[in-house]
Amino acid sequence: MRFFWRFLKDDSGATALEYCVIGAFMSILIVAGARAVGSNINNMFYAKLANSLS
């Protein structure tokens, strides 16, 4: 029973978990931003190319 209470009071892994959550959130933002920029660049260049060919 003593081990259980020590486990509940131990918060040494909380910081690592917080960093993992922050890293996951940042990676989601980076992927979303890259997709948005890629779509805009795609539309900007290929739309002009398609219009000039037709």
pLDDT score recorded for residue 54: 66
Does residue 2 carry a pLDDT above 80?
yes
Give domain status of residue 45, yes or no: yes
Give domain status of residue 6, yes or no: no
Domain with 24 in it: 13-53
Give domain status of residue 29, yes or no: yes
| Greatest pairwise CA separation for the chain in angstroms | 77
pLDDT score recorded for residue 28: 97
pLDDT score recorded for residue 36: 87
Rounded to 10 degrees, the C-alpha dihedral 24/27/31/32 comes to 60
Instruction: Report the domain count for the chain.
Output: 1
Give domain status of residue 30, yes or no: yes
Instruction: Report in angstroms the alpha-carbon separations of 49 from 19, 36, 39, 46, 52.
Output: 44, 20, 15, 5, 5
pLDDT score recorded for residue 50: 77
Each residue's pLDDT tens digit, 4-33: 788 777 766 667 788 899 999 999 999 999
